[in-house]
């Protein structure tokens, strides 16, 4: 890797963001963490280069994950960055909403091995580069 | 479970002034009067009243129900099939109404003629609210169960997949997180079990003298880590009368106190939480006051209901800390120990005061239902 690829993890639960921070860094990625919607938008502005991929939780303080997703996809600077929505809301309507707003994937956290999440992220990044 | 519903009834005639049916109209009115006296609520909601008014005017009806519901057509159908027509839920403003239409028929020679309709309107708003909050509960409960499960599963699988790459300190931290996750999961499962048992009266509650001051101090010690981490000061205004003994189950009183303090901490970003104790002739009451976000007036009546949280915004993290069962469990516990619990006061952005009262152990009227 010429430059380090950075993942922005937007997740307020300490136990869960520790898991994703760890598994992505073990897999060779750089990590930035935001614990609420406002912080996430601030990170987007300050990160240079922009993150390669974003892991986004829905139930986060201040600005909801859906709203963050809307803002990301509505901004020409960021709309092409793949977003994996990782949530424990398993309602079908939430999944449809996230995909309609432009999420690349909607994963229910408890249903996926962290390593699997990294593999899915890598696939999305590879597709992006091609 | 039964819901409070309100009814109203009205009669519509095709031609009220037709002298030929005068006798029939009087007969119908006499019959409905008796029903009305027995079942119709006097304080029927104003929005339902406006529906009643509108029902007398088919144009207005169209405006209200639009294309989805043609009441007059339905009424005709009900006549043809000689059945009573009933709608499911009709939305009118903020109300859910059930409308029942029954034709009034008179038989002339061999033919039947409709002279009008009996309209019965039932306000089913409350039942709908409960139904919706139950649906929300399942979404929230599933989320709350999955979160600690993710911490357990994620850490365990990572230990399995990356064992040789992980440092000892990391392994230790991950095992610790998995253990905490399983504790969090256990407490949620216990909440669910508590509710089911309490509702059936299957939790045996001890009825012993309990030193309430001592119990409060024990609860405060348990909450210290959390209050310190949130930098919220908890003030306990100790009463002068230091020997206050209530008749209760100490563990359960602690559970109620911890729930109230925990709620206060959850909804308070800065300021203080104050606990005070008051003695009346037969009871001791404990108040927990915070300087937190407060509860909007429209949500205050829903607080002690099962599955309900003060806010219904499911997707905001602030609104959905926990499963929304704590106050409901506290209410069941307090009541089974012969006491009461209430929201004394709550002002948005200023804070809330909750209070529960339990019988003094010396109180002669102390009875605890078994």
Task: Report the candidate in B233, B215, B212 with the shortest Cα–Cα distance to residue B224.
Answer: B233
Residue A22 forms contact with B (CB below 8 Å)? yes
Maximum CA pair distance of chain B?
Answer: 98
Report the distance separating Cα B154 and Cα A68, nearest Å.
25
Pairing of strands B90-92, B95-108: antiparallel
CATH number at residue A107: 3.40.50.2300
Per DSSP, the three-state class of B27 is: helix
The predicted-structure confidence for B97-152, as pLDDT tens digits, reads as follows 777 766 677 777 777 676 766 777 777 777 777 777 777 777 777 888 898 999 99
User: Domain B205-370 maps to which CATH number in 3.90.230.10, 3.40.50.150, 3.40.30.10, 3.30.565.10?
Assistant: 3.30.565.10
Residues of chain A neighbouring B173 (CB-CB closer than 8 A): 18
pLDDT at B88: 58
Task: Report the candidate in B318, B115, B1, B340 with the shortest Cα–Cα distance to residue A64.
Answer: B318
Q: Mutation target for B interface from A91, A110, A117: give the one with most B CBs within 10 A.
A: A110
Among residues 315-354 of chain B, which lie with CB inside 8 Å of chain A? 315-318, 320
In a domain, A19, yes or no: yes
DSSP B270: S
The predicted-structure confidence for B287-332, as pLDDT tens digits, reads as follows 999 998 888 887 777 777 765 544 433 334 443 445 667 888 899 9
Per DSSP, the three-state class of B113 is: strand
Q: Whose structure tokens read 């045996």?
A: B204
Q: What is the mean pLDDT of chain B?
A: 77
Contact A99, A83 (CB under 8 A): no
Contact B339, B252 (CB under 8 A): no
pLDDT at B131: 77
When pLDDT is cut at 50, 70 and 90, the band that residue B17 belongs to is: confident
pLDDT at B184: 83
- ipTM for the predicted complex: 0.91
**Maximum average pLDDT range among A12-21, A55-64, A117-126, B52-61:** A117-126
Contact B158 A90 (CB under 8 A): no
Task: Report the candidate in B235, B236, B257, B237 with the shortest Cα–Cα distance to residue B246.
Answer: B257
Contact B245, B260 (CB under 8 A): no
Residues of chain B neighbouring A13 (CB-CB closer than 8 A): 147, 151
Average pLDDT over residues B5-15: 64
In B, minimum Cα distance to A11 occurs at B317
When pLDDT is cut at 50, 70 and 90, the band that residue B266 belongs to is: confident
Domain extent for A57 = 6-129
Q: Mutation target for B interface from A14, A95, A114, A119: give the one with most B CBs within 10 A.
A: A114
Task: Count CB atoms within 10 A of the CB of residue B281.
Answer: 7
Task: Count CB atoms within 10 A of the CB of residue B64.
Answer: 17
pLDDT at B318: 40
In a domain, A71, yes or no: yes
What are the angstrom distances between the C-alpha of B145 and each of A84, A130, B22, B142? Answer: 21, 39, 66, 5
Pairwise pLDDT comparison (B53 vs B235), residue with the higher score = B235
A31: tokens are: 């990590």
Task: Report the candidate in B51, B113, B50, B54 with the shortest Cα–Cα distance to residue B79.
Answer: B113
In a domain, A1, yes or no: no
> Looking at the predicted structure, is the pLDDT value of residue B171 above 80?
yes
Per DSSP, the three-state class of B34 is: helix
Average pLDDT over residues B193-210: 85
Per DSSP, the three-state class of B56 is: coil
- Helices vs. strands in chain B: H and E counts, helices first: 10, 12
Adjacent-strand bridge partners of A105:
A84
Work out how many domains chain A is built from and give that number. Answer: 1
Please report the sign of the dihedral spanned by the C-alpha atoms of residue B356, residue B357, residue B358, residue B362: positive
Q: How many CB pairs under 8 A join A and B?
A: 82
> Looking at the predicted structure, is the pLDDT value of residue B47 above 80?
no
Q: Which of A26, A58, A91 sits opposite B165 (nearest CB)?
A: A26
pLDDT at B2: 40
Domain limits, chain B: 6-123, 127-203, 205-370
Pairing of strands B6-13, B111-123: antiparallel
Fold of B127-203: Helix Hairpins (1.10.287)
Residue A114 forms contact with B (CB below 8 Å)? yes
User: What's phi and psi for A84, nearest 5 deg?
Assistant: -100, 115
- Helices vs. strands in chain A: H and E counts, helices first: 5, 5
Among residues 148-177 of chain B, which lie with CB inside 8 Å of chain A? 148-151, 153-155, 157-158, 161-162, 165-166, 170, 173-174, 177
Pairwise pLDDT comparison (B23 vs B252), residue with the higher score = B252
Report the distance separating Cα B92 and Cα B96, nearest Å.
6
Q: What angle do CA B313, B352, B239 make, to 5 degrees?
A: 150
In B, minimum Cα distance to A23 occurs at B158
Pairwise pLDDT comparison (B226 vs B90), residue with the higher score = B226
Query: How much of chain A is helix, strand and coil, in % rounded to 5?
Result: 45, 20, 35
């Amino acid at each position: 890797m010429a430059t380090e690829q950075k993942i922005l993890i937007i997740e307020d639960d300490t136990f869960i963001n520790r898991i994703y921070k760890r598994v992505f860094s073990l897999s060779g990625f750089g990590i930035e963490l935001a614990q609420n919607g406002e912080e996430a938008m601030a990170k987007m502005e300050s990160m240079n280069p922009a993150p390669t991929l974003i892991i986004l939780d829905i139930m986060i303080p201040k600005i909801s994950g859906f709203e963050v997703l809307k803002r990301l996809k509505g901004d020409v600077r960021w709309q092409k960055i793949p977003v994996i929505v990782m949530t424990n809301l398993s309602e079908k309507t939430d999944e449809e909403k996230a995909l309609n707003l432009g999420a690349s994937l909607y994963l229910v956290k408890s249903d996926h091995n962290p390593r699997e999440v990294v593999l899915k992220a890598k696939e999305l990044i590879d597709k992006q580069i091609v | 479970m039964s819901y409070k519903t309100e009814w109203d009834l009205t009669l519509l005639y095709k031609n009220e002034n037709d002298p030929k049916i005068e006798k029939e109209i009087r007969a119908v009115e006499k019959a409905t009067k008796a029903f009305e006296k027995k079942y119709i609520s006097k304080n029927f909601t104003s929005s339902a009243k406006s529906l009643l008014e509108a029902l007398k005017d088919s144009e207005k009806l169209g405006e209200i129900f639009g294309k989805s519901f043609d009441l007059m057509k339905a009424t005709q159908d009900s006549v043809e099939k000689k059945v009573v027509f009933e709608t499911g839920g009709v939305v009118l403003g903020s109300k859910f109404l059930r409308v029942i239409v029954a034709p009034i028929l008179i038989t002339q020679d061999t033919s039947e003629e409709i002279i009008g309709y009996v309209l019965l309107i039932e306000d089913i708003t409350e039942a709908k609210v409960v139904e919706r909050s139950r649906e929300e509960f399942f979404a929230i409960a599933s989320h709350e169960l999955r979160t600690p499960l993710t911490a357990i599963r994620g850490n365990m699988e990572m230990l399995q997949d990356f064992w040789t790459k992980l440092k000892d300190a990391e392994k230790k931290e991950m095992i610790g997180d998995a253990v905490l996750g399983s504790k969090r999961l256990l407490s949620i499962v216990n909440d669910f079990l508590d509710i089911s048992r309490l509702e059936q009266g299957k939790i045996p509650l001890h009825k012993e003298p309990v030193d309430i001051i001592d119990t409060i101090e024990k609860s405060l010690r348990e909450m210290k880590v959390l209050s310190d981490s949130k930098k919220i000061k908890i003030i306990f205004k100790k009463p002068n009368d230091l020997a206050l003994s209530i008749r209760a189950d100490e563990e359960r009183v602690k559970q109620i106190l911890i729930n109230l303090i925990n709620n206060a901490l959850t909804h308070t970003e800065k300021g203080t939480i104050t606990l005070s104790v008051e003695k009346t002739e037969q009871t001791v009451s404990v108040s927990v006051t915070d300087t937190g976000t407060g509860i909007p007036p429209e949500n205050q009546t829903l607080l002690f209901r099962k599955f309900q949280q003060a806010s219904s915004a499911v997707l905001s993290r602030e609104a959905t800390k926990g499963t929304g069962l704590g106050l409901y469990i506290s209410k069941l516990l307090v009541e089974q120990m012969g006491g009461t619990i209430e929201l004394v006061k709550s002002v948005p952005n200023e804070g809330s005061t909750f209070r529960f009262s339990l019988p003094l152990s010396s109180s002669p009227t102390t009875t605890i239902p078994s």
